[in-house]
Structure 1
Amino acid sequence: MPPGVKNVFRRSALCCARTWATSVHRFWVTDSFLLQKGWSPGTQCVTKCDHSKPKPSELAYRKGDMLTIIEAGVGKGVYRAQHNKTGEQGLISASNVREREAIRVDPSLSLMPWFHGKISGPEAVNKLQPIEDGLFLVRESIRHPGDYVLCVIVGQEVIHYRVIYKDNKLTIDNSKFFYNLIDMIEFYTKNQGALATTLQKPKEKAGAKSAEVELSKAGWLLDIDKLALGERIGEGEFGAVYMGHYMGQRVAVKDIKSPHLVGNLVNFLRTRGRSVIDTGQLLRFALDVCAGMEYLESKKLVHRDLAARNILVSSDNVAKISDFGLAQTNPKTSDNVKLPVKWTAPEALKKEKFSTRSDVWSYGVLLWETFSYGRQPYPKMSLKEVKEKVEQGYRMEAPENCPTRIYALMRTCWEMDPGKRPSFHKLREKLERELSCYSTVTRS
């Protein structure tokens, strides 16, 4: 396996889950329906209970294990299946398993459920209950803006480790450096390093759910040991792509050059905030994305999923567009995909009319995300409310401290008539002028 692929594939499982869900099984249906229609060989299932004392010819499993259907019609509601982890085969009852569900969008899912934002040391201590060795959380440092604090229980006390933000990297002891908090936490869950203990259990922020745990429950965390890599089939800006096989299915695996990427724009903005990222940097991010979209515009490509979550930030703070899973060269073609409502233009939601100008609408939302430092668009509004109110003329208010001219740009992106929205070329010109003005003011 090429260097970096194993680690990247594991990390990328969360990002790739949607694609896998689409290519394998899109919908979950009831057991009764499945008993009538039957599962075809290759169907992935998750066990609903323990079956630790199987009869001869039956398969043993624990609740939450992943199984693959090998043969249907062995008996009424009985299938032959293979255990994905052990490789053992045997008979199972359909009533004890459920088909692996498609991924559903849940705004409470987080890759950093242990990140509690700007809270004080005493607040962190109060949250780290009940007392348990290795229980931890991460907070923004109030005393040292721009830095973080890792709070972990050792014995009966909470130890606070200052995480210093230095040269676009994070460090606790000036000997081990990380590009982001996720990498740091992953390292210290496996290595004690400079800490008094390894990190054992995250204290999740109220209302947050671990994306890793939820995807695991749904059966979408991939077992790297089951991946077999084949020939190299492509090369992208962020790494090579290889043909592979996973549990009998052909897959594509991207070997991302992870040391040069520090995460997506949403997480980057949320974990650094106003104390680290100034308006000039926000303008540069906006300009980077706009320039990339201008290129797509020139090639008559429609992205259809432009959002801050799909923008990667390099180690030298350059924003780059990613996730072209919904991109089209023929925007008139209907493919019945589930669209990101809060980012999609009204004409695209109602009539599936996609164009570069519908991407411009999405870019306006991305601008709002950027200048709100990663906030969720249309906060506290349901998807139904967003659709209805936007159709009626509602537009989001300007983010706090957002430059007036940038908010005016957002509003032009959100014109109801697509023909009145600016091109990416025009947007780039205006952003360049705005950045130039900002630089002149800050130098004087």
Structure 2
Amino acid sequence: MAMKNWTAGTQCVAKKQHCKPKAGEIAYHKGDILTVIGPGTRNAEYRARHNATGEEGLVSGSKLREREALRIDPKLSLMPWFHGKISGQQAVGKLKPVEDGLFLVRESVRHPGDFVLCLCFSQKVFHYRVIFKDNKLSIDNKQFFYNLIDMIEFYSRNQGALATLLLKPKKKEGTKSAETKLLKSGWLLDLSKLTLGETIGEGEFGAVFEGEYAGQRVAVKNIKCDVTAQAFLEETSVMTNLHHKNLVRLLGVILHNGLHIVTELMTKGNLVNFLRTRGRFAISVTQLLRFSLDVCEGMEHLESKKLLHRDLAGRNILVSEDTVAKVSDFGLAKVSSTATDNSKLPVKWTAPEALKNKKFSAQSDVWSYGVLLWEIFSYGRQPYPKIPVSEVWERVDQGYRMELPDECPPDVYSIMTSCWETEPKRRPSFHKLRERLEKELGKH
């Protein structure tokens, strides 16, 4: 049998149960998820942490398989029962053979923008019009929902005003249920093990909460809008492929009240606030170099997987309890790859060729990394101080580059400016940047 070589952070699923652990080992059931912490004492053995109990101990590699990453599959849908704009007649045609509880949701042809729930019961098809009121959906003006996903989830458990429970979704041709796929690959978490705490942030897509999942402190991003949740499904599939100490780790997702994405909790918040609130008297240049290297290593890992970030900036770098910087929101950028709308692009961080012709590449991420280095060495200042956003692009296009931040080592400044070469090919790779930063750190 080939020796498995799992690095720390790799998530594994138990292939069989192990309920009589010897000293130093941990107990687990088939299907439990464990995270590798490091190599064990013997061959083919690992130290691991049980994701649900938090227990740590030794595990035999032969009893585990690596948790399967989700393939990015455009057919994966959080709403496989949604058929888009079809008439009542067409819906009846699709709900065959008729059985109690078979259902689909469609957009009304007569009233575009309105949804209709079509449900079979005792050989008939009932059409329930979904009323849209105060930004919420309802069928009977008694039960209100933020989105269709919640409505379907509710009526699968409660009959309410319907003729019968929703028992069997009629899938739209060519879609697969994301829920089934998440469950099978071990990324669907158990709602009953999640406790939500305070809100720690308000993203443009919904709130971010602090919480606890099976005894571990976590951050939970909740996305209520159906369409956005579907787009975030791609972010999630990107995240299931990545394990690295400088990338924020995904624990899994929960489908309830929209989509919840559960990640490790980064207690010290984002890097910009971390630097601003402490300032140059509390944070040494060595620490700044460590942060720079952390981010660079995370980005080198993305680069090696041929993934782009597209929104690399200090606000998207989070700091852990033990003061390690990690890159977050790295799949999301993938979703908006052809953002045709420049107003959405963070002008001060975006490379000229990306602003001009939408040419995103590992080299445009390197440009943003240069701006991020400037943010780090100026202790969280807003880049291009004193220049209005509307003029930044023009000035940069004419060759303007930001000056050296106070007390920034000249060699670090030359790393920054190398990231801002106009010609993308002339910028260093993240691999090269890491070597230069390690050399720099060696001097401090």
TM-score norm. by structure 1 comes to 0.47
Higher relative contact order (CA 8 A, sep 6+): 1
